[in-house]
Amino acid sequence: MPKMKTHSSLKDRFKITGTGKVKRFKANKNHLLYGKSGRRKRVLSSQPIASKGDVKRLRQGLAQLR
């Protein structure tokens, strides 16, 4: 049976940590940043852990990155 391919868009949007958790990026951090405070931009830079309901599907799509 052939290997599962990594989903190309998921590869750019999520990261798998060393312990197997899936980190995601926050929206609203790409453009129109001049109207946002420094604190807001700093908070948007953090990478929270993806919700438990999504993790199983994300791990399948990110099969080769584990």
Per-residue pLDDT of the chain (66 residues; tens, 9 = 90+): 788 888 889 989 999 999 989 999 999 999 999 999 999 999 999 999 999 999 988 988 888 776
4-37 burial by CB neighbour count: b if 16+ within 10 A, else e? eeebeebeeebebeeeeebeeeeeeeeeeeeeee
Domain boundaries, the chain: 8-65
DSSP 8-state assignment for residue 29:
-
C-alpha dist (Å) from residue 32 to 3, 24, 38: 41, 21, 13
- Most distant CA pair in the chain, distance: 52
- In CATH, what number does 8-65 get? 4.10.410.60
